[in-house]
Structure 1
Amino acid sequence: MNVSFLPRSIVAASLIGAAMLTSSAGLSMAQSPTSKPPAAAAATSSKPETVEQRISQLKTALKITPDQEAKWSKVAEAMRDNAAQMDKLVKEKRAKMTNMTAVDDLKTYQEFTKAHLDGLKKVTDAFDSLYDSMPAAQKKNADQVFMNFGPSHAKSPSQG
């Protein structure tokens, strides 16, 4: 494995996974006690943005062209599906929280992690096709978008 690629992989996974974490209960259940890359911190913020906002921001940042719209729509659909799946898990687990044992808590964390991993695979598969269709300059931009995603790197509208 290319060691220099590892941080980008973590940030990319966190960025795409951010679409899956859409409610405060899901966020608290899915959090890890370890420090997180910027995209993961954004995903677990106490002020989560909606999946539609993330899709829109990512589409703009990646400079998706009309010719890429069909491939982009598959990425967006996977992000929406992931968010819906995570919301479903959150609702199921919220009802059980009052009687959870330590083992139940670990199993819940396992379920969230599996849902995150399954969703990430779906988004990665869709994104792979889109990325392959991008010209070199757009790929370079995409690489930077994924490397720099997160609240500490976000530009205000006045910064362009």
Structure 2
Amino acid sequence: MLASALLVGIAVLTNPASAATPAQPRTDAHVTTIAAHTAVDTRIDNLHSRLQITATQESLWQPVAQVMRDNAAAMDSLRQSRTANAHSMSAVDDLRSYGQFIDTHADGIKKLTPPFEALYNSMSDAQKHNADLIFRNDRHATTKKG
């Protein structure tokens, strides 16, 4: 249940339903693990491709991608801490840990919305329609899985 609750919002932006575009050079401020870095960059590249980001929109896309990386790093850090302490947590500790996940996820969505809105506002009508479908369909697919 925890996984599905956390993934509902994240998967809206990161569902890898199409092939990834070639990796673009990046400067990552928060690299946690190679596996987490690779997964988030794959999701970012996928979304970039699916949203059909143009060369002109790259300067608006980069802040979106960076917030996605930062959010993934924050969630990965919480996940590692929870895993490390899972066997010694009391029920109250478990609830607090879950609350931290939810708060961090909500904060991440709040941080992602302004740069995504700027990108969205730069999109053509066809891109906006496509983005709306991606978010709508990915949300429903993720909700059905949970």
Using structure 1 for the length normalisation, give the TM-score: 0.64
Aligned to 1:102: 91
Aligned to 1:50: 39
Q: Report deviation, 1:152.
A: 5.8
| Structure 2 CA distance for aligned equivalents of residues 125 and 92 of structure 1 | 29
Matches within 5 A, 1:68-87: 68-87=57-76
Q: Is the 8 A contact 1:30 1:109 kept in 2?
A: no
| Structure 2 CA distance for aligned equivalents of residues 98 and 104 of structure 1 | 11
Q: Is the 8 A contact 1:29 1:108 kept in 2?
A: no
| Structure 1 CA distance for aligned equivalents of residues 71 and 53 of structure 2 | 21
Q: Is the 8 A contact 1:30 1:113 kept in 2?
A: no
Counterparts in 2 of 1:150 and 1:113: CA distance versus 1, 3 Å: closer
Aligned to 1:137: 126
Which residue identity lines up with residue 99 of structure 1 in the other structure?
Answer: S
Counterparts in 2 of 1:39 and 1:72: CA distance versus 1, 3 Å: closer
1:92 to 70, 81, 92: 81
Q: Report deviation, 1:30.
A: 4.2
1:78-130 C-alpha deviation (Å, 9 max, x unpaired): 00000111111112222211111111111111000001001111111110010
Which residue identity lines up with residue 89 of structure 1 in the other structure?
Answer: L
Counterpart check, 1:123 vs 2:92? no
| Structure 2 CA distance for aligned equivalents of residues 142 and 121 of structure 1 | 18
Aligned to 1:148: 137
Which residue identity lines up with residue 69 of structure 2 in the other structure?
Answer: R
Aligned to 2:49: 60
How many residue pairs are counted as aligned between the two chains? 117
Q: Report deviation, 1:149.
A: 2.2
Specify every segment of 5 or more residues in structure 1 that has no aligned partner in the other structure, as ranges.
1-27, 44-48, 154-160
Which residue identity lines up with residue 51 of structure 1 in the other structure?
Answer: V
